[in-house]
Amino acid sequence: MSATGISKEIETAGQLEELRQEVRIAAEELLSAANMKPGQILVVGCSSSEIASHKIGSYSSAEIGKAVFEELYAVTKSQGLYLAAQCCEHLNRALIVEEEAAIIRRVFELTNQRYSKMEICKLFNEEGVLTPLQSMSRRQKSDSKKAASRGLQWTSDMIRKIVDDKTYIGCMVYGKTKIPDPGTGKEVPVPRNQWKVMENHHEPIVSKEVFEKAQSLQIRYTKKSKFDRETTLLGGYVKCGNCRRSLTSSSPVHGHILYSCAYSKGKEDTGCFAGKADNKMLEHIVLAEIKAYLRQNISQEQMQQSMRKQHEDSIEAYKTESADCEKCQEQIKIQNRQNYEKYHEGQMNQNQFMEAKKQLEEERERLQKRVQELDELINDEKEILMKKNVPVEQMLKYLGYENLTREMLEEYVQGIYVYDDGRVEVEWG
């Protein structure tokens, strides 16, 4: 693509439009010559400074960058390709890959839907989702033995590292290691609470709210795995109804454990639970609450399952309309290109060319907006279908249980709050 020579003084809408036209033509010609197949990644590295005929890094233009990206993205998306943008040297030429970002977002979505790390791994492995090491190897066109030997399958540790990584919320984390002895040059790890974090360093992949929710769920499940499930069935769930702190438990005696609020000890009028709650009594109450909850939700679950076909039909209808919109956009591109050629051959004057371009661009923008709306609708429907629906059969099974189980707690309960007046409230997960 040739440089347009756009300067700060003459960066007009007409010239930006001409740049867009050049980008579209250049991208289409490149993809045609490269014979790229759907699913492949187009890596683009460019400089808005150089496009504007300036020295690299001396003239950054958000308008030029936006115009180049939008046209490249439209062309690659229409051909089923992924676009990767290679950033400037100020960002260490990092690659921002749309496909990998989508995988990261899905990890957080599934985590927040209470999928375990093992369940996510099983799902990804069955679907053939690329692991981080595979993605890196593909970008680098590497056939390393490392990728071949231990990077083919998703593992719980991979999921944990993704959920723990603040990079995905726009933070830069540094200072993880230090060299205590400069003479040796050997790095030693630094405790996590001493790491340095720079917020808003780059565009986030997931929101802070999504990240924090995933963190809280992961911490909770990690803690639960450490419990002796026979003697501390309610461990991590029983809390004071006033201060919301976890109740402390006594040592088990003949299967009985007494829970109390440590914050109330030695204090007056705290409002906290000052008595002793027997675990067997609490288990009986919580089991009854869960069964009542299940009875209320069985009919709702049955209805949701019967509506799956409706959501699937909606997805297909949206996809069909989106495909029609993209075909119309292709026709507009062809017409725009023909008008551009006529303009340069003198068959159209500038006013005629710009007026025709304006009308075509208005229609293209309308179609593009509709495609985006349809993509959002499709994603909404997919999110509904992806939600971890508990089969009605499982709920009916739990209704037949005579004793509370850890499985039931993990499936339905967020917290069990005990009050000084004897009330016990269950917070649903």
- Look up the domain containing 41 and give its range: 13-93
* In-domain check, residue 221: no
| Torsion angles phi and psi, residue 305, rounded to 5 | -65, -35
Last residue of a domain, one of 192, 216, 240: 216
CA-to-CA separations, 127 to 120, 283, 349, in angstroms, rounded: 11, 39, 54
Percent of the chain with pLDDT over 70: 74
Q: pLDDT tens, 222-245?
A: 444 444 433 478 888 898 888 888
At a CB cut-off of 8 Å and minimum separation 6, what does 317 contact?
Answer: none
Mean pLDDT, rounded, for 341-367: 87
User: Token digits for 62?
Assistant: 């958000």
Q: How far apart are CA 258 and CA 252, in angstroms?
A: 8
Are 377 and 318 within 8 A, CB to CB?
yes
Greatest mean pLDDT among 10-14, 20-24, 184-188:
20-24
Instruction: Give the torsion sign (CA, 116, 120, 126, 131).
Output: negative
Quote the pLDDT of residue 146: 47
* In-domain check, residue 222: no
Q: How far apart are CA 66 and CA 73, in angstroms?
A: 10
Q: pLDDT tens, 130-180?
A: 888 777 776 655 554 444 444 578 887 788 889 888 888 888 777 777 766
End-to-end Cα, the chain, rounded Å: 55
Of 58-62, 102-106, 120-124, the range with the lowest mean pLDDT is 58-62
Q: Is the same domain home to 44 and 135?
A: no
Q: How far apart are CA 142 and CA 133, in angstroms?
A: 10
Distance of CA 235 to the CA centre of its chain: 31
Are 198 and 172 within 8 A, CB to CB?
yes
Q: Is the same domain home to 205 and 63?
A: no
Q: pLDDT tens, 167-217?
A: 888 887 777 777 666 666 566 777 766 778 888 877 788 998 899 888 877
Quote the pLDDT of residue 139: 60
The count of domains in the chain is 4
Q: Is the same domain home to 26 and 53?
A: yes
pTM listed for this prediction: 0.36
* In-domain check, residue 210: yes
Q: Is the same domain home to 274 and 410?
A: yes
Q: Is the same domain home to 153 and 288?
A: no
Q: Is the same domain home to 285 and 408?
A: yes
Q: Is the same domain home to 104 and 143?
A: yes
Q: How far apart are CA 305 and CA 122, in angstroms?
A: 23
Q: How far apart are CA 210 and CA 223, in angstroms?
A: 20
Q: Is the same domain home to 234 and 285?
A: yes
